[in-house]
Amino acid sequence: MRITLKQLEVFVAIAKTGNVSHAAKKMYLSQSACSMALATLEEQLEGAVFDRHGKQLFLNERGRVLLPKASSVISQISELKDMMMEDKEDNLSGQLMIGASKTIGNYILPKLISEFTCTHKNIQINLKIANTKAILAKLLTFSIDIALIEANCFSDKVYAYPWKKDELVIIAAPKYPLSKKKKLTLTDIANARWLLRKQSSGIREKLEENMGGKIRPFLELDDTDALKQATQAGLGISCLSRLVVEESLRNNTLVELKSPCLTLNREFHILIHKEKYQSTIIAEFLKKANI
């Protein structure tokens, strides 16, 4: 059996895109070359690794077993190449794929990435920002190397490292009626006009966990800054990370609504897939993040 690196790279690209044509474009190959590499790989493995439905390809059981192994081999060979490159200032080079939920990606990671790339100038960072559920899905399919999320993760397929504490605050515009109350009751909160992120948001899950049930939002938005702006406009109340609203609280364009009946602290986590090869680049990033 002679399996080549190119065949494994084609396999992983098709697994991520679900389509030979898209994988070929991603790898700068012709579609026929991509198809031939996959066919040769399946011949070497004596069986298909995808189920075919028209032009779409879906990993079958054999393919799901192969994917983490193939990704690991590709990562190790990439690191081996990087180690052989001579650079007097820094011999660590390559690419790091990071996925982060929105508060972390927009308000914490820029500084961390800046510090990391100042130390390791030859590392290219690719950052994907989405909600917690989407980021976890990317990690589980090996589309990213590291995930940073705003909620707990109970998957037995990942290592979850507690990272940073975060405080959530309930906010309103100074002119909003509830902003005049010194302390909010659960009834006040339940009857308020809520402006919230969509259902898969980590903040919303934490809030509803504290409230003991679902909250019916007056307005749902998928963007944190849009929520902040809508709240400042007096449309209702919202719950966001203090990281997001601290400047607005200082400027008095938003006010914090106190509620002794709610505990809205949470913890950010860094996740690594258990079957992901932990390269030197990943190890260095975790070190910079104090993990």
pLDDT tens per residue, range 122-135 = 899 999 999 888 99
Tokens of residue 219, six digits: 């307005």
Q: Is the pLDDT of residue 15 over 90?
A: yes
Cα angle for residues 262, 99, 89 (degrees, 5° grid): 125
CA–CA gap between residue 262 and residue 214 (Å, rounded):
15
CA–CA gap between residue 122 and residue 86 (Å, rounded):
12
Domains and CATH numbers, the chain: 1-84 (1.10.10.10), 166-266 (3.40.190.290)
pLDDT confidence of 91, banded at 50, 70, 90? low
Residue 85's contacts (CB-CB under 8 Å, 6 or more residues apart) are 91, 93
How far is residue 237 from each of residues 138, 189, 200, 213, 257, measured CA to CA in Å?
Answer: 32, 9, 19, 18, 9
Q: What percent of the chain has pLDDT over 70?
A: 96
Residue 284's contacts (CB-CB under 8 Å, 6 or more residues apart) are 92, 116, 119, 120
Please give the model's pTM, rounded to 2 decimal places. 0.71
Q: How many helices (H) and strands (E) does the chain have?
A: 12, 11
CA–CA gap between residue 58 and residue 114 (Å, rounded):
37
pLDDT tens per residue, range 182-236 = 888 888 888 889 999 877 677 888 888 887 777 788 999 988 899 999 999 999 9
Query: For 168-189, what is the mean pLDDT?
Result: 88
Residue 287's contacts (CB-CB under 8 Å, 6 or more residues apart) are none
212 dihedral zone (left: phi>0; alpha: psi -120 to 50; beta): left
More confident residue, 261 or 245: 245
Q: Which range (14-18, 62-66, 121-125, 150-154) has the least confidence?
A: 150-154
Q: How far apart are the first and last CA of the chain?
A: 40
CA–CA gap between residue 205 and residue 4 (Å, rounded):
45
Q: What pLDDT is attached to residue 88?
A: 46
Residue 59's contacts (CB-CB under 8 Å, 6 or more residues apart) are 15, 49, 50, 51, 67
Contact 228, 248 (CB under 8 A): yes
Query: For 24-43, what is the mean pLDDT?
Result: 91
